[in-house]
Amino acid sequence: DTGVSQDPRHKITKRGQNVTFRCDPISEHNRLYWYRQTLGQGPEFLTYFQNEAQLEKSRLLSDRFSAERPKGSFSTLEIQRTEQGDSAMYLCASSLLLAGLRDTQYFGPGTRLTVL
């Protein structure tokens, strides 16, 4: 399977705990995105990388959130001191930079986070 993969698919944690999610993009893709979807809403942009450089962070990404893409391949999204409001589906996507916003972003299946 050469699509975008995410791990874990589901995560249940207690409030105050730290969690980390991993995303493996399509291998030749140089751009990687993180989105968050809450119930009844569409995916909301969180951040994106071009190679290992984080080019933009949404204001949704509080200080408790950090994302890395250390070698320009896989990426991790860490949430520290989780809150119940962090419960959501976290989606990762990747693309090959050719034409900017016209490039198709290919999505993974997401990580469903539940904070108790």
Q: SS3 for 2-52, per residue? A: CCCEEECCEEEECCCCCEEEEEECCCCCCEEEEEEECCCCCCEEEEEEECC
CB of 27 to other proteins, least distance (A): 16
What the block records as the tokens of 10 is: 């589901």
CB of 28 to other proteins, least distance (A): 16
Smaller CB separation from other proteins, 104 or 114: 104
State yes or no: residue 66 binds other proteins (CB under 8 A): no
Contact with other proteins (CB under 8 A): which of 4, 23, 77, 113?
4
Contact with other proteins (CB under 8 A): which of 8, 17, 18, 41?
41
CB of 94 to other proteins, least distance (A): 11
Euclidean distance between CA atoms 86 and 63, whole angstroms: 13
Would strands 53-57 and 10-13 be described as parallel, antiparallel, or unpaired? Answer: unpaired
Contact with other proteins (CB under 8 A): which of 13, 30, 50, 87?
50
**What is the residue whose two structure tokens read 């949704």?**
60
